[in-house]
């Protein structure tokens, strides 16, 4: 058992105000004769295919494209904003970032411009605040478009649990929602400079979660609390955010799992681990094969698959010999491998693909929407 050096921290209360997204009806994007539309859970067409592109619904609205312009429709297919934007992001916190010409602004759910296009780049609101770029500097605005932090940072991430990571040069700290630095820039920037802020968290996880955040110092990752105090000394090659009281870290090229004191609950032994547990299980790679472990590190589904995706609604997509199927928590096939691609189930359905055609199946593998393109 590896015993990492540990620094004590008092348990922090979560201050997350992230609003759960909800929608009254689950609708799924489909393609028919090269046009996009939406079907319901039963596979019935809810919005006839008519768009050149369409994204999934977020907060009851979906971005759709006609020609080279984006707009938004509600779940009845009615436009709340006619196609007029050069780019359009999904709604979050009741607002969506849109691009007109070379500038970004924001619209509300009625399609009204609430923040005029003026930014060189703009990302989704999180906890009522959005990171925006002017020139080469990033700042933050509220939902009225007023600055809470003037553009001054080289990097700026979204808010999580009331704090957001900002970087000046190669050092990073955290600000609160008033724009005040609460943790001075002191940690190394470990985000890929070429990756835009909206994607950086996929690579470096600079978000508070369960009161802690992964930070990098002199090439090693540890964990700090909301005051900037190190709770777990920097000692890992990589480290991801805490979920359900545990976090995945990498030591000596192997992944293991620690608790909030920095103690290993699962020794580093896996070639790769998923960043979080879903339905009590996490995918684990051993010897170029994938299986699933529980939080004690026990391999509950043996490493036998070429690739896997996370569990959703009791099932996980797994790949064997180039074909995807679905297993249950015990590793038993519920849907035999037959698809070229397969996504995790959500809202009762999973997207699958065969020969470039996309369809949807239910939990038993029955098609509710046959593959089309």
Domain ranges of the chain: 280-373
Report the Cα–Cα distance between both ends of the chain, in Å, rounded.
52
What CATH fold (topology level) applies to the domain 280-373? N-terminal domain of TfIIb (2.20.25)
DSSP 172-211: EEEE-TTS-EEEEEEEEP-S-TTS-HHHHHHHH--S-BTT
Q: What are the Cα distances from residue 121, in Å, to 104, 131, 196, 302? A: 6, 9, 10, 45
Spell out the alpha helix ranges (H) of the chain: 197-204
pLDDT of residue 373: 83
Picking from 144, 69, 67, 59, the residue whose alpha carbon sits closest to that of residue 109 is 59
- Determine contact, residues 277/296, Cβ cutoff 8 Å: no
Picking from 72, 79, 27, 39, the residue whose alpha carbon sits closest to that of residue 53 is 72
Which residues in the chain land under pLDDT 50?
Answer: 1-6, 10-23, 193-203
Locus of tokens 């609708």: 27
Is the C-alpha dihedral spanning 51, 55, 57, 60 positive or negative?
Answer: negative
Picking from 148, 64, 146, 68, the residue whose alpha carbon sits closest to that of residue 111 is 64
Residue 308's H or E segment, with its range, is strand 307-308
- Residue 312: CB atoms within 10 A of its CB come to 17
Report the alpha-carbon angle 28-202-319, nearest 5: 60
The token duo for 356 is 């470039």
Q: What are the Cα distances from residue 336, in Å, to 290, 292, 342? A: 17, 18, 12
- Determine contact, residues 312/326, Cβ cutoff 8 Å: no
Picking from 291, 326, 287, the residue whose alpha carbon sits closest to that of residue 307 is 291
Q: What are the Cα distances from residue 329, in Å, to 40, 244, 317, 360, 364? A: 27, 19, 11, 21, 15
- Residue 72: CB atoms within 10 A of its CB come to 27
pLDDT of residue 3: 42
The token duo for 15 is 């201050």
């Amino acid at each position: 058992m590896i015993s990492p050096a540990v620094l004590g921290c008092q348990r922090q209360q979560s201050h997350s105000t992230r609003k759960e997204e909800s929608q009254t009806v689950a609708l799924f994007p489909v393609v028919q004769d090269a046009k996009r539309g939406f079907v319901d859970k039963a596979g019935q067409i809810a919005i006839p295919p008519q768009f050149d592109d369409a994204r999934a619904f977020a907060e009851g609205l979906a971005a759709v494209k006609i020609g080279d312009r984006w707009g938004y429709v509600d779940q009845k297919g009615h436009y709340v904003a006619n196609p007029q934007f050069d780019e359009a992001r999904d709604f979050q916190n009741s607002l969506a970032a849109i691009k007109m010409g070379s500038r970004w602004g924001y619209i509300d759910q009625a399609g009204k411009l609430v923040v005029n296009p003026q930014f060189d780049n703009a990302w989704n609101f999180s906890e009522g605040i959005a990171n925006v770029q002017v020139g080469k500097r990033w700042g933050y605005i509220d939902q009225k478009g007023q600055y809470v932090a003037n553009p001054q940072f080289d990097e700026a991430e979204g808010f999580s649990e009331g704090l957001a990571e900002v970087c000046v040069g190669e050092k990073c700290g955290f600000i609160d929602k008033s724009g005040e630095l609460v943790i001075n820039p002191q940690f190394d920037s470990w985000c890929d400079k070429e990756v835009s802020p909206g994607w950086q968290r996929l690579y470096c996880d600079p978000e508070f979660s369960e009161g802690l955040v992964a930070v990098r110092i002199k090439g090693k990752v540890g964990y700090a609390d909301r005051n900037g105090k190190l709770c777990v000394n920097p000692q890992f090659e990589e480290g991801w955010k805490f979920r359900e009281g545990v976090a995945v870290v990498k030591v000596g090229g192997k992944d293991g799992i620690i608790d909030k004191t920095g103690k290993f609950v699962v020794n580093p032994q896996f070639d790769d681990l998923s960043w979080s547990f879903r339905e009590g299980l996490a995918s684990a790679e051993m010897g170029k094969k994938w299986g699933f472990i529980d939080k004690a590190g026990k391999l509950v589904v043996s490493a036998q698959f070429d690739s896997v995706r996370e569990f959703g609604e009791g099932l996980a997509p797994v790949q064997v010999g180039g074909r995807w199927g679905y297993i249950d928590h015990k590793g038993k096939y519920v849907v035999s491998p037959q698809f070229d691609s397969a996504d995790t189930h959500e809202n009762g359905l999973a997207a699958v693909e065969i020969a470039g055609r996309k369809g949807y199946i239910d939990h038993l593998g029955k098609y509710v929407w046959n593959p089309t393109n």
